[in-house]
Structure 1
Amino acid sequence: MEKVHSGGRPLTRAALAGRRRALEEGRAISRRELAGHARDAAKALRLRPSLRQVLEALVAVWGEQPWSRLLVWPSNERLSEKTGLSERALRYALRDLVGLELITPKDSANGKRFAIRAPDGTVVDAYGFDLTPVVARAGEWAERLRLLKAEVEQRRRSFDILTVCRRAVSEALQGLATHHPEVPISDLILARDSLEQSSPKRSRASDDPSLVVTQWMDLREKAEERFYKAGCAGNSCSHLETNNEPPSESCNKGSSRSAGGGAALRPDLVAAACPVARELGFDIQTEPDLIDAGRSLRGSIGAHPSAWSEACEALGALTAGALVVLVAQLHDDEVTGRRKSEIRNPGGYFRHLVRLSAEGRYSVAAELLAMRRQRMT
């Protein structure tokens, strides 16, 4: 059978699907609204630059006609001028936009794009591309962007956990080598070096930290358990640092302090006011849990070890741990947009609060009570 050349493009399922998408009857669309939906679509589908450029160029030439379909009919020459793409690259981009069901071709008999005018010159219809799917799928773009945001947030938290675990392992290994050289750690060092080589980098958008986070958490648990048993074998408080105070005093120093009109500094208060601790893998139920969380998160807020030592000396390990978790929560609230950005340097802010608390000008417990009330309202 002889092949007939109509000048049009081959029929595809995507083109047919695009034709089926329509706007609500009587809905008016502005170019600004169309441009906003096009940007959302580009983000949601992670369009490559050339596709973004072509889609933006098509939106820019739309004349806001009060039609049921959003039709545009620019020539390839005009689109090339607007985007800087070659003829071939432009054709590929248009083909891919059709395949993604962002635009729908409306071809004339000879495949040309042009407007159909009434006798008085008014444009009443056109052959070209239909941008209706961009607006008709607005709900899909919103849902995709919500999922992408959640994915980005989960990736950020996974990297935070990975960083916390990596630093905790290094501190445990350093503590074992310094204070308990008789304890073998070669297996831990070998496991750490292997994980370092396989761990992804935060700067690479394609790297997935969830593949190694569990392994880092297991290694951290092993390293800290070995250090714990080497130091006190469960017979006294579980401090990683050495100190000369009696165990009961060093564990409870600061726990009996009250602030904010008699408000006691309790682990359950910290856990309720600062949910970021649980999100980072710390289940704060007891005072040693709180001290461990503060010690481990100290590095994640950028606080120098000397700041932690100063806090323990001035406020006690319990209050120091609570203050670290508090600053970590404030910083997390700023990063996630729940709080206006005010803390430029979390580590420096932590040291500042330590000194204010030591002078009696800041109450950690009172601040935690206020934060808990805000989360309950």
Structure 2
Amino acid sequence: MGTHTATTPFGRRPMTLALLASQVTASQIDQKARASKWEVFRDIREAKQALGATDRALAILNALLSFHRAEELTAEDSLVVFPSNEQLSRRANGMSPATLRRHLANLVITGLIIRRDSPNGKRFARKGEGGAIDQAYGFDLSPILARAGEFKALAADVMAEHKAHRLAKERLTICRRDVVKMIDVGINEDAPGNWQGFQGRYEAIIARLPRTAARSVLEAICNDLEDLWIDIHQTLESFINSQNLNANESQSERHIQSSNPNVYSTDESENGFREINEASGVDAKTDNVRALPHRDLPLGMVVDACPELLTLARDGQIRTWRDFVAAAEQARPFMGISPSAWQEAVEVMGQEKAAVTVAAILQRSERIASRGGYLRNLTERARDQKFSVWPMVMALLRERLDVHAKTSGSGAKPDAAPGQPEPVEISDALRKSMKKKGWERRGGTS
């Protein structure tokens, strides 16, 4: 006579579609399926949150697996275990009956086991001839074998998420440390920069960090911190470059003064510009070239020295200083100069001289790595009255004069660029003074 497999729970426990779905899944096991019960249990333990299983429920599942004698779970063997509550409680570290029932229900709801209740709710097995079990009533472990692949994939996903979360926390720690210490360096070294603004941005970002944050929140905060890090790093890098530039200029000044005390000059910097140290006062009253920074620059001379700006001027023409400033403002974003750097230059130098400085940087932009940082450096030097736009323009103009001299020697006459004023004529006295003081040899510096 055949036996009927129980599908509904005993007593007042209701039958649900979820329970029926678990039974359907367990009935579809491949007859050749095999799995190590402890390896599957480790996967279940890793994926417990995704499955909805509790710690106590896993302790009970561990005890249930221990009642299955074989190391492997196979479809050929009976996967129903039938320990009493007393035995199960003993192997579950002395769990109380009420707690045991509650977490057994959790295992059933999560689909990890199936109840195979007897008519009276007791757990037992009926053996046939030869001692083989014909019918068993208790807890069916078939879902563990049927879903072994699913548990393995869930465990891998959980471990990957844990790793990503750990890396995000490490990234956050490093970003916070870098930003805080770099702000401290900028403040302690008196580097030019909006350090109060940087500090405010950092505090606003960290204020969004909860006590327990998800990975997506950590990554969003890290992205904002890295943007802040980039701004701070660029500010410090510009300051370092300016310090290196000043050191090179100071070394050149000492060398030139020792070889010829009547001439005060700086070598051309790595960015291609040369500047006059107006604070030195060497022959300031008698040297005609050193007196140049105290006069206004003619517009025609500036445009002739910086023809690249014409390509960004309206209609390709510059007739007034207003046109010149507008062209410089048009060139600023293409050169990577921030609005704050431009505004600071205007406040310190004045609008026209700031525009001349931008035009000169544009003229030799291929020699300057950080144009915004170089403009900030020149602005700081102008603030200390150690910078004038005259030497920059004269250096550029000297190059144009050299080209003009070579072309004149060949009998050709260069044409002015469209919209550009006619080449500026320099007086013989000024040309002789430039030659006497070494302007043409040193590229327009004194």
Scaled by the length of structure 2, what TM-score is found?
A: 0.46
Residue in 2 aligned with 1:209?
Answer: 218
Pair 1:112-2:122 in alignment: yes
Structure 2 counterpart of 1:153, from 163, 188, 191: 163
8 A Cα contact 1:71 1:130, kept in partner: yes
Residue in 2 aligned with 1:15?
Answer: 19
8 A Cα contact 1:23 1:68, kept in partner: no
Residue in 1 aligned with 2:60?
Answer: 54
Q: CA deviation at 1:6?
A: 5.7
**One-letter code aligned to 2:115:** P
**One-letter code aligned to 1:218:** D
Q: CA deviation at 1:184?
A: 3.3
**One-letter code aligned to 1:226:** T
CA distance in 1, matches of 2:101, 2:220: 40
Pair 1:34-2:43 in alignment: no
Listed one character per residue, the Cα deviations across residues 81-102 of structure 1 (whole Å, up to 9, x for unaligned) are: 2112111111111111111111
Against the structure 1 CA distance between its residues 213 and 6, is the aligned structure 2 distance closer, same or farther, given a 3 Å change threshold?
closer
Q: CA deviation at 1:234?
A: 12
8 A Cα contact 1:103 1:130, kept in partner: yes
8 A Cα contact 2:113 2:143, kept in partner: yes
Structure 1 counterpart of 2:150, from 118, 135, 140: 140
CA distance in 2, matches of 1:10, 1:148: 32
CA distance in 1, matches of 2:178, 2:10: 69
8 A Cα contact 1:8 1:108, kept in partner: no
**One-letter code aligned to 1:78:** Q
8 A Cα contact 1:14 1:98, kept in partner: no
Residue in 2 aligned with 1:131?
Answer: 141
Q: CA deviation at 1:115?
A: 0.4
Residue in 2 aligned with 1:25?
Answer: 31
CA distance in 2, matches of 1:27, 1:101: 19
Structure 2 counterpart of 1:190, from 162, 178, 200: 200
1:259-298 equivalences under 5 Å are none
**One-letter code aligned to 2:15:** L
RMSD (Å) for aligned C-alpha atoms: 3.3
Q: CA deviation at 1:9?
A: 3.0
**One-letter code aligned to 1:12:** T
Q: CA deviation at 1:172?
A: 2.2
Q: CA deviation at 1:171?
A: 3.1
8 A Cα contact 1:8 1:109, kept in partner: no
CA distance in 1, matches of 2:146, 2:10: 30
Residue in 2 aligned with 1:163?
Answer: 173
Give the match's secondary structure for 1:209.
Answer: helix
Residue in 2 aligned with 1:218?
Answer: 227
CA distance in 2, matches of 1:230, 1:28: 67
**One-letter code aligned to 1:48:** T
Q: CA deviation at 1:122?
A: 3.5
Q: Percent identity?
A: 28
Pair 1:63-2:69 in alignment: yes
CA distance in 2, matches of 1:80, 1:219: 57
Listed one character per residue, the Cα deviations across residues 226-282 of structure 1 (whole Å, up to 9, x for unaligned) are: 33344447997xxxxxxx9x997xxxxxxxxxxxxxxxxxxxxxxxxxxxxxxxxxx
CA distance in 1, matches of 2:213, 2:207: 18
Residue in 2 aligned with 1:326?
Answer: none
CA distance in 2, matches of 1:82, 1:205: 37
Give the match's secondary structure for 1:111.
Answer: coil
CA distance in 1, matches of 2:67, 2:86: 13
CA distance in 1, matches of 2:152, 2:34: 20
CA distance in 2, matches of 1:6, 1:72: 17
Q: CA deviation at 1:111?
A: 1.7
Give the match's secondary structure for 2:122.
Answer: coil
8 A Cα contact 2:191 2:239, kept in partner: no
Q: CA deviation at 1:44?
A: 1.5
Listed one character per residue, the Cα deviations across residues 29-49 of structure 1 (whole Å, up to 9, x for unaligned) are: 6xxx11221221121224432
Structure 2 counterpart of 1:80, from 89, 104, 122: 89
Residue in 2 aligned with 1:258?
Answer: none
Q: CA deviation at 1:211?
A: 3.7
Give the structure with higher Rg (CA).
2
Question: Which residues of structure 2 form unaligned runs of 5+?
Answer: 1-8, 246-250, 252-266, 271-368, 370-446
Against the structure 1 CA distance between its residues 113 and 86, is the aligned structure 2 distance closer, same or farther, given a 3 Å change threshold?
same
Listed one character per residue, the Cα deviations across residues 316-368 of structure 1 (whole Å, up to 9, x for unaligned) are: xxxxxxxxxxxxxxxxxxxxxxxxxxxxxxxxxxxxxxxxxxxxxxxxxxxxx
